[in-house]
Structure 1
Amino acid sequence: MPAIAAPPQTAAPAAKPSRNLLAACLAHALHDGYTDGLYAFLPIWQAQFGLSYAGLAMVRALYSGTMGGLQLPAERLLKGVSARSALLLATLIAAAGFLVMALPLGFAGLCLGLVMAGIGSSIQHPRGSSLVHETYPAGSRRPLGIYNFSGDLGKASLPALAALLLPLVAWRPVMGLMAVLGLVVSGLLYGLAPATRPAPSHKASRATGGARSLTGFTLLTAIGGFDTAIRMGYLLFLPFLVHQRGGGSAMVGLALALLFIGGAFGKATCGWLGERVGVTGTVVLTETATALLILATLATPLMPMLVVLPLLGVVLNGTSSVLYGTVPELAPGGDHGKAFAIFYTSVTGSGGLAPILYGAIADHSSQTTGIMATAMTAALIVPLVLALKPFLQAGKERQAA
C-alpha cells in the first residue's frame, strides 16, 4: 500500500501551483483594492465629519495601522492553518468591516468598520505571500512579481469604481457594494485555495540559507517603509490636488486610476529593469524619478497633471515590486512567512503613520509643503539603497556557492 500511495503525493503539487497562485492573486487584488479604494472617500469624510488633513489621515490609519500592526501576530496565530481557511477568514472579516461602514452608525461605525477591515487584511498579506513562495520555492521571484502585480489590478479598479459611483449614489451604498464583492471573492477562494499548507522545498531553503542577513533585511525593511510612506502620503493629497484644479469626484477617480494603472505597468517594467540593472540601480532610478515627478504634479494644471500621473505611477509603485522580491533572499533564518509578515508590518505601518505626519506638515504650513515632503523622502531612499548593495552582493555570492 505505501508504494501505491507514494506517486500521488509527489504528483499532486505539480497540479496545484497555478490554482494556488490564482487564489493568492485574487485575495491580494481585493484587499489592495479595499486599501486604496478608501482614498476615493476621503474628501466626502472630510466634509461630513469636519476633519483636518491630519485627522483624516488618523481615521484612515485605523485601517492601515491595524493591518500593519497585526500581520506578525496573525502569521504566528494562524501558522498551522490552511491557506484556504486563512484567506477565507481574512476576506470575510474585511468584507464585514465594509458592511459595518455601510450601515448608518455615524462616525463610530466608520471607525469600527475600518478597524475590522484592517484586521482582515492583516491576515491576507503574509499568508498569500507565503502560499506563493511555498508553491514556487525554487524560483519565487517571478511568481511573487505576479502576486504583487495583482494587487495593482485591485488598486486600479476599485478606487475608480468607487469614484465613478460616488457622484451617483451616497457613499454608504458604495461601501455595501464593496462588501458584496468581498463575499463573491470568498466563494472563489473556497474553490481555489488549498485546504492544506504546501511544504516548502528543503533544497531551496539550503541554497539560500547562507544569504540571510539580519542587518541587510532590516535595511531592506526600512527602505520598504519609506517607499510606502511616499506612496501613501502622496495619495492623501492627490484627491485634493484634483479638486483644487477644478476636477470633481469622477476626475478624482480618473486620476487615481491613471496613477494605479501606471503602477501596475511599473511592476512589470521595474521587474524587467531589476533583472538587468540590479536592485540598487533600479531603486536609485525609480526614487529619483519619483521625487522629480511628484514636484512636476505641483507645477502643472489639471490636464498636464493627468498625463504625468501614469508616469509617476510607474516609479511610485514599481519600486515595491523590486524590494518585495528580495525578501526571501534576505529573510533571517530562512523563515519566509515571518520575514514577509515583518516586511509587511513595516510597510503598512509606515503607510498608516506617514500620512498623519505629512498631513500635520500640511496643516501647519501648506498642502504644497506636505507634498514636497514626500518628494524629499524619495530622495532619502537613494543613500539607503546604496548602503544595502553589499548585502545583496554577498547574498548572490553565497547562493552561487
Structure 2
Amino acid sequence: MVKSKKHSALRITCGAHVVHDGLVDMLYALLPLLRDAFGLSFAQVGLLRAVHKTATAAFQIPVGIWSERTGTRPLLVAGTALAGFGFLGLGSANNFGAILTFIFFAGCGGAFQHPLSSAILSNNYSKNGQRAALGIYNAFGDIGKFLFLGTTIFATASLNYNWQAPVYCFGIIALLTALVIWLLLKASAIGARPKKPLSKTTVGGTSGWGVKHPRGFVLLGSITALDNTTRNGFLTFAAFLMIEKGVSTEWSALAVLVTVFGGMCGKMAVGMIAERIGVTKTIALTEFATALMILAIVAMPSLYAFFLLPVLGVFLNGTSSAIYGTVPDLIKGEKHSRAYGLIYTLGSICGIIAPLGYGILADWTNVETTMIVVAGVVLLTVPLCKFLAIAIQEARQL
C-alpha cells in the first residue's frame, strides 16, 4: 500500500510538472515572435519574463504555508486551472499591456506546482530515495518543456500558425490537467486536509519554518539564486544569441529546445549522481561545466553551437535536482511545503531580476557580451559548495 502510494505520488506530480513547466518554457519560443509582432525592445522582452516570475515569487511561500492547513490537493488543482485560464487570456491579448496582464495570471497559477509537488514527494519517500524521486520529477518537467516548446516551434515555423494557436491549445490542456489531478489525488488519498491542524506556536517564528541549520539553508538559498539567475538569463536570450549568429527568428527558439533536451537527461542523471558522490561535489562540477559550455557556445558559429547546447542543458538544468534534493537535509519533515516555497521563491526572484538586468545589458552592449557575464555569475556558486558541505554534515548530526 505504501509503495503503491509512493508510485502514485510520483506519477501525479510528474504529470503536473510536465504541464506546468511546459507552459512556463513555451514562453521562450514566444518571445522572438512577440518581439517581432509588437516591436519590443530587449528590456521589454525581459520584462515579460520578469512579470511571470514576479507572480510566481509572490505566491510560492503563501502556497506552501496554506497547504499545511488545506492540504496540497485543492491548491495544486486551483493553481493548474489558474495557469490554464491565464493562457487562454494571453491568446486573446492584442497589446503589450494585455500580454503582461495575462502572463502575470499564468505566473500566479504556476506558483502552486513546484512547492506542492516537491512536498508531496519528500513526504512520501524516505531519505534514501528522495533525491532520485525528485530527479525523476525534475526530468519530467523538462519533458514538458521539450514537448510544449517543440510543438510551439513546429506549429509556428513549419505549419505557419500564428503565435496564438499553441497558446490556446495549451491553456485548454492545463484546464483538463487540473481535473485529472483532482481525480487521481483523491483516488490515491494524497494531499487531503491534515487531520491535526497546526498550532499557532508552530506557525510563527523561526522554529515555524523547521530550519535545522540556518547557515546551511542560507548557503543553499544563495546557490539556488545564482543557479536560477544563470538559467533564466541564458534561456531568455538563447534564441536571440542564435539570431545574432544568423539563424532566422522562427527557428531561433530551437536553441532553447535542444538545451531543454539535454536538461531532460541531466535532471534525472544529476539527481542519481548526487546520491552517489554527494550533493556539493555534484553542484560544483555541474556549475563549473555550465560556465565553460556557455563560453564555448558564444565563441562558436551557429551550427557548432547547436551541437553543444544539449551538453550545456545537462549541466544548466540538471543542477537543480541536486539543489532541491538537499532541502530535506536542512528542514524538518512537516515543514517541507513552506521550505520548498521559500527556495523556489528565491529562484523566482532571480527570474525577475535576471531577464530585466540582462535585457538592459543586451540593449546597452550585445547578446554575446551578456552571455559572457552570465557564465561569470554561475562560477560564484563553486566556492559556496565547500561551506554547504560542512553545513549539511552538521545538520545530519542534529
The answer to whether TM tops 0.5 is: yes
CA 1:142–1:276 in 2, change beyond 3 Å: closer, same or farther? closer
Distance 1:337 1:83 in 2: 9
Aligned position for 1:192: 184
Equivalent position to 1:86, from 72, 75, 91? 75
Deviation at 1:334, TM superposition (A): 5.6
Aligned position for 2:291: 291
Aligned position for 1:25: 14
Q: Does 1:152 align with 2:142?
A: yes
Q: Do the aligned residues in 2 keep the contact of 1:23 with 1:193 (CA within 8 Å)?
A: yes
SS in 2 for 1:246: coil
CA offsets 1:175-200 (integer angstroms, 9 cap, x no match): 10111221232232132123553679
Letter in 1 for 2:355: P
Aligned position for 1:229: 229
SS in 2 for 1:140: helix
Query: Aligned pairs, how many?
Result: 379
Aligned position for 2:50: 61
- Bigger CA drift: 259-268 or 185-194? 185-194
SS in 1 for 2:48: helix
CA offsets 1:146-186 (integer angstroms, 9 cap, x no match): 21221111122111211111231111122101112212322
CA offsets 1:226-265 (integer angstroms, 9 cap, x no match): 1011011011211112222232355334322210111111
SS in 2 for 1:51: coil
Letter in 2 for 1:43: P
Deviation at 1:388, TM superposition (A): 1.3
Aligned position for 1:344: 344
- Structure 1: which 4+ aligned runs deviate by more than 4 Å? none
CA offsets 1:112-161 (integer angstroms, 9 cap, x no match): 11111111111111111111122224442222222122111112211121
Distance 1:341 1:225 in 2: 13
Deviation at 1:313, TM superposition (A): 0.3
Q: Does 1:171 align with 2:171?
A: no
Q: Does 1:72 align with 2:61?
A: yes
Deviation at 1:100, TM superposition (A): 0.3
Deviation at 1:321, TM superposition (A): 0.6
Aligned position for 2:216: 216
> Matches of residues 243-262 of structure 1 in structure 2 within 5 Å?
243-249=243-249, 251-262=251-262
Aligned position for 1:300: 300
Q: Do the aligned residues in 2 keep the contact of 1:84 with 1:190 (CA within 8 Å)?
A: yes
CA 1:75–1:211 in 2, change beyond 3 Å: closer, same or farther? closer
Distance 1:335 1:210 in 2: 6
Letter in 2 for 1:110: I
Q: Do the aligned residues in 1 keep the contact of 2:73 with 2:190 (CA within 8 Å)?
A: yes
Q: Do the aligned residues in 2 keep the contact of 1:26 with 1:150 (CA within 8 Å)?
A: yes
Q: Do the aligned residues in 2 keep the contact of 1:214 with 1:332 (CA within 8 Å)?
A: no
SS in 2 for 1:257: helix
Distance 2:102 2:311 in 1: 34
Distance 1:210 1:176 in 2: 41
Aligned position for 2:280: 280
CA offsets 1:348-374 (integer angstroms, 9 cap, x no match): 221221111111122222222211111
Structure 2, unaligned runs of 5 or more: 196-208
Q: Does 1:127 align with 2:125?
A: no
SS in 2 for 1:166: helix
Distance 1:272 1:197 in 2: 26
Aligned position for 1:205: none
Deviation at 1:221, TM superposition (A): 0.9
Deviation at 1:104, TM superposition (A): 4.0
Distance 2:292 2:3 in 1: 46
Q: Do the aligned residues in 2 keep the contact of 1:163 with 1:249 (CA within 8 Å)?
A: no
Equivalent position to 2:84, from 81, 88, 95? 95
Q: Does 1:49 align with 2:41?
A: no
Q: Do the aligned residues in 1 keep the contact of 2:329 with 2:395 (CA within 8 Å)?
A: yes
- Bigger CA drift: 214-223 or 184-193? 184-193
Letter in 2 for 1:348: S
Q: Do the aligned residues in 2 keep the contact of 1:212 with 1:332 (CA within 8 Å)?
A: yes
Deviation at 1:31, TM superposition (A): 0.8
Distance 1:332 1:218 in 2: 16
CA offsets 1:279-319 (integer angstroms, 9 cap, x no match): 22211211111111101111111110111001100110111
Q: Do the aligned residues in 2 keep the contact of 1:153 with 1:264 (CA within 8 Å)?
A: yes
Give the fraction of aligned pairs with identical amino acids, expressed as a percent: 34
Structure 1, unaligned runs of 5 or more: 1-10, 201-208
CA offsets 1:204-245 (integer angstroms, 9 cap, x no match): xxxxx9982011011101101110110110112111122222
- Bigger CA drift: 49-58 or 173-182? 49-58
Letter in 1 for 2:240: F
TM-score (normalizing by structure 2): 0.89
SS in 2 for 1:193: helix
CA 1:332–1:58 in 2, change beyond 3 Å: closer, same or farther? farther
- Bigger CA drift: 41-50 or 112-121? 41-50
CA 1:153–1:248 in 2, change beyond 3 Å: closer, same or farther? same
Aligned position for 1:203: none
Aligned position for 1:37: 26
SS in 1 for 2:247: coil
Distance 2:362 2:300 in 1: 19
SS in 2 for 1:144: helix
- Bigger CA drift: 249-258 or 382-391? 249-258
CA offsets 1:44-70 (integer angstroms, 9 cap, x no match): 222222322122111221111111221
TM-score (normalizing by structure 1): 0.89
Deviation at 1:82, TM superposition (A): 3.6
